[in-house]
Amino acid sequence: MGIRVLKGGMLTTVQDLGRTGYQSQGFSVAGVMDVRSFKIANLLLDNPENEAVLEFTLIGPTLEFTSATIIAITGGDFQPTINGDPAPMYTAIYVNKGDILKFGSARTGSRGYVAFSSYLEIPVVMGSRCTNMKSSLGGFKGRKLQAGDYMNFRIKRRYLPFFLSRRLELDEFDQMDVELRVVMGPQDDMFSKQGIDTFLNSEYTVTSEFDRMGCRLEGPFIAPKEKSDIISDGIAFGAIQVPSHGKPIVLLSDRQTTGGYAKIATVASVDIPKLVQRKTDHKIRFRAISVQEAQRLYLEEIKELDDMRRKIHQPCREVLECRLVAKRLRTLFE
């Protein structure tokens, strides 16, 4: 009743929205990098919003199902196959006992997600099922998955209403350059006007130092007024630190709770998925928006997700047409 890991891929972990409420004690939040893809995977299966999924990075895992369930795959295109046949993404799919779900390397994007209608049996540690690798906490034994690992499902759930309607448009991840909208602050006043101009008008390149903790960017030097050290304070998801080397570092899911470098700005929540789906050498530009605008975008996305939820709960048009045809045929036979 579950899944067996045949290949772990590069970095596959159990994640949800993260372990909040313990940052004041030094616990990183962890949780998924691409919140949007995560939410879509769960909503395709009517799962609770915060149900745990598998997140994989650059090279996906190979999984064997030891019981039937329904899954949804979202995020970057890892060329998924089930028993060798291409599997659709952003769609609810039945899998049978013995089926093998295989992910390749990321053709687009860099992170993928798979959600399960039968829910992974992973203990809740301090309010979350997510994996905090640094502290070996939560998830599957506090670590990334590897060949031989086995996870049970918590429930049997192999039926979902409006099954054929459960498919959505794919998000695009094939851009080589993206614009990230940012809210300036909290320490933007520590940078010179020239430094701010450089930050907002230059192209930055994603380096290979890009993991779940953060993403280092290469590009023009962002000048501080004097120094860029601060007395350590808390760090939000998407905060952009600029240490004395003048190159921005965007802090992500596994970020440390506190840090001692000035934060020039913070990426708008809706744009964090665009960043975490980038690869080395992709280009980034920053554009400042107000906090009100960032919150408006955030609420807009919630509405968009609600619309998706409505859409997959309507009878599928093709099915309706079949019924119509059947009805007409029936009168003929009668």
Partner 1 sequence: MQNIRILTEGDSSLLVEFGKEISPEINRKIAATVKLLKEQHIEGIVDMIPTYCALLINYDPRVLSYAEIEERVRGLVKVETKAGTQRKRVFEIPVCYGGEYGPDIANIAEHAGLSEEEVIAIHSSRDYLIYMLGFLPGFTYLGGLDERIHTPRLANPRLKINAGSVGIGGSQTGIYPLDSPGGWQLMGMTPVRTYDPERETPILVEAGDYIRFVPIDEAEYRRIKDLVERGEYECVVREREV
**The CA-based dihedral angle spanning residues 173, 209, 215, 244, taken in that order and rounded to the nearest 10 degrees:** -150
Pair of tokens at residue 23: 């940052």
Taking CB atoms within 8 Å and a gap of at least 24, the contacts of 142-145 are: 143/13, 144/8, 144/11, 144/12, 144/13, 145/5, 145/8, 145/9, 145/12, 145/13, 145/14, 145/54, 145/61
Identify any residues that bridge with 86 across adjacent strands, giving them in sequence order: 81
Least distance from C-beta 142 to partner 1, angstroms? 9
User: Least separation, in Å, of the C-beta of 333 and partner 1?
Assistant: 54
- The backbone torsions φ and ψ at residue 282, rounded to the nearest 5 degrees and listed phi first, read -70, 155
Minimum separation from the CB atom of position 135 to partner 1 (A)? 5
CA distances 93 to 24, 115, 174, Å, are 41, 11, 24
Q: How far apart are CA 205 and CA 219, in angstroms?
A: 6
Least distance in angstroms from the C-beta of 16 to partner 1: 14
Residue placing its CB nearer to partner 1 in the complex, 101 or 133? 133
Binding site for partner 1 (CB under 8 A): 20-27, 29, 125-126, 135, 137, 183-187, 231-239, 256-258, 263, 266-269, 291-292, 294-295, 297-299, 302
Could you tell me the end-to-end alpha-carbon distance of the chain, in angstroms, rounded to an integer? Answer: 47
In the complex, the smallest distance separating the C-beta of residue 179 from partner 1, rounded to whole angstroms, is 16
Nearer to partner 1, 29 or 114 (CB): 29
Least Cβ distance, residue 258 to partner 1 (angstroms) = 4
Distance CA 119, CA 261 (A): 40
Amino acid present at 202 = S
Pick 34 or 77: Cβ nearer partner 1: 34
CB-nearer residue toward partner 1: 72 or 240: 240
Query: Nearer to partner 1 by C-beta: 221 or 298?
Result: 298
Indicate the residue among 110 and 132 with the shorter CB distance to partner 1.
Answer: 132
In the complex, the smallest distance separating the C-beta of residue 141 from partner 1, rounded to whole angstroms, is 12
Judged by beta carbon, residue 170 or residue 289, the one nearer partner 1 is 289
**3 state DSSP class of 133:** coil
Cβ contacts of residue 61 below 8 Å, gap of 6+? 5, 6, 7, 8, 9, 12, 54, 103, 145
